[in-house]
Structure 1
Amino acid sequence: MAKALIFAGGTGRRMNSCSKPKQFLEMHGKPIIIYTLEHFEYHEEIDGIVIVCIKEWIEELKGLLNRYGITKVLNIVSGGDTGHDSIYYGLEEMRKFCSKDDIVLIHDGVRPLINEELISKNIEAVKRYGNAITAEPVRESVIRCEDKKSITDVPPRDQMFVAKAPQSFHFGEIFKLYEMAREDGWKTIDSSHLCSLYKVPMHMVMSTKNNIKITEPADFYIYRAIYEAMENQQIFGV
């Protein structure tokens, strides 16, 4: 079995939402965080979920879990100042529920367009290779610039991918890395970045299409359009 660590600690400043953090914004009357959680709630290989949330919104989240029948949540903990800190606090809480060999899928609360197959592929990859980093090919050329002025080089596009989520590991391995980073004073963008810093070999799992992270207002409208298109396809077969 496996467990999920969902981090939803962001305040959503880039969403320009004065009333709610981005993970609590609603689409068709349901908060984004619930759409995300449902994928893990309904997956037969996931037997527990820990959520990292903004402290002031934990009670609101508890109410939503009851309302929407999310039963696998083991605990909710407060987030940190950065995404890196939030993941560390979540992993620290998971020590209560995980052995070192348990599989943990780390996922953004505002990345709701995943599916059962992607979760299964992550779990299988960890069993076979030790970890799994969800990724998708870039659609445009990537440039590298070291001074924010001059282009250093343009890597071949067919070798370039974008790291997504879930990012999945054996609990003992990933918690050890976050503890090392804490001692070394490093703050990372995500778990794949942390693995790269410590030269940990990583296995890539190809992402589902449209695995977007809802960060800015345009992302929300793109998500809504994609979701409605998917719903219409199921209903009308188009």
Structure 2
Amino acid sequence: MNIALIFAGGTGVRMNNRTTPKQFLTLHGKPILIHTIEHFEKHPLIDSIAVVCVSGWESKLKKEIKRNYIKKVKWLVTGGETVQASCYNGLKAIYDEYKNSAETVVIMHDGVRPLIDDELITKNIEMVKKHRSSVTVSYAVETICSTDDFGKIVEIANRDKARIAKAPQCFYLDELMEAHNKAKSEGINWMIDSASLMKYYGHELYTVIGSTYNIKITTPSDYYILKALFEAEENQQIFGI
């Protein structure tokens, strides 16, 4: 069983948009979130989809799911106060139904990261079944450094080895729930993604290389970059350029 868990629980404060969460901004006639969900809806290896939605927008999402003929969404749950809490809410809904299945794979993705494709989803599923983890990464194209509290550079990473962790990220349901339950019992609530959580609890992480265009919409400039990339991708499909 392969289940997609799509995160759309954020309010998008860095978008400076007080009326519409970024995942519901329109791109070519439909919300960005719907574009993202459609990749998993159409993928033959995805059995079901769970969506974690920002509070107060559940009815809007239900209408968009119906309007766009999406059939695989089985769970729609409300997001939590943190990224980790939202992830837990979605996983718990799935786990309550599939808790006896150690072979249930969960492929997690950001609702505001729509520039993925079937091949990337397939590679993540293949990798997790081989190594029990899969994290999409892209090559670092600029120098990555670490600084101290005063802004002084203390370390510069080897760019040949450095990678940018993105999504999808893929794990087995039982192992991911075990990590979340440990975190809750220990009062840990600041993990920014599943890869960080699983690494913290000693799991080995394996990677799949994805495109640098697999961007996450966080700021207004990201949205305009997305529009340009989306149109370029459409033109490539239409005109073969």
TM-score by length of 2: 0.96
1:158 counterpart = 2:160: yes
In 2, distance between residues paired with 1:46 and 1:118? 13
1:215 counterpart = 2:218: yes
* Deviation, structure 1 residue 205: 0.7
* Deviation, structure 1 residue 62: 0.3
Distance 1:237 1:201, change over 3 A: same
* Deviation, structure 1 residue 96: 3.1
In 2, distance between residues paired with 1:70 and 1:148? 50
Where do 1:10-159 residues align within 5 Å? 10-98=10-98, 99-159=101-161
CA contact (8 A) 2:8 2:54 kept: yes
What one-letter code is carried by the residue in structure 2 that aligns with 1:221?
Y
Partner residue, 1:9: 9
In 2, distance between residues paired with 1:108 and 1:226? 17
In 2, distance between residues paired with 1:25 and 1:13? 14
* Deviation, structure 1 residue 189: 0.9
* Deviation, structure 1 residue 232: 0.8
- Sequence identity of aligned pairs in percent? 46
Gaps of at least 5 residues in structure 2 are none
What one-letter code is carried by the residue in structure 1 that aligns with 2:216?
K
The Cα offsets for residues 185-228 of structure 1, whole Å up to 9 and x where unpaired, read as 11201111112211211111111340000011000000000010
Moved more, 188-197 or 112-121: 188-197
1:46 match: secondary structure:
coil
1:203 counterpart = 2:211: no
Equivalenced residue count is: 238
In 1, distance between residues paired with 2:74 and 2:237? 32
1:168 counterpart = 2:170: yes
2:203 match: secondary structure:
coil
* Deviation, structure 1 residue 230: 0.8
Partner residue, 2:229: 226
TM-score by length of 1: 0.97
Distance 1:129 1:65, change over 3 A: same
* Deviation, structure 1 residue 91: 0.4
What one-letter code is carried by the residue in structure 2 that aligns with 1:222?
I
In 1, distance between residues paired with 2:237 and 2:210? 21
What one-letter code is carried by the residue in structure 1 that aligns with 2:230?
Y
Moved more, 166-175 or 195-204: 195-204
In 2, distance between residues paired with 1:168 and 1:182? 21
1:95 match: secondary structure:
helix
What one-letter code is carried by the residue in structure 1 that aligns with 2:77?
V
CA contact (8 A) 2:11 2:54 kept: yes
In 1, distance between residues paired with 2:161 and 2:168? 21
Runs of 4+ in structure 1 off by over 4 angstroms are none
Gaps of at least 5 residues in structure 1 are none
2:138 match: secondary structure:
strand
CA contact (8 A) 2:139 2:212 kept: no
* Deviation, structure 1 residue 55: 2.1
* Deviation, structure 1 residue 153: 1.3
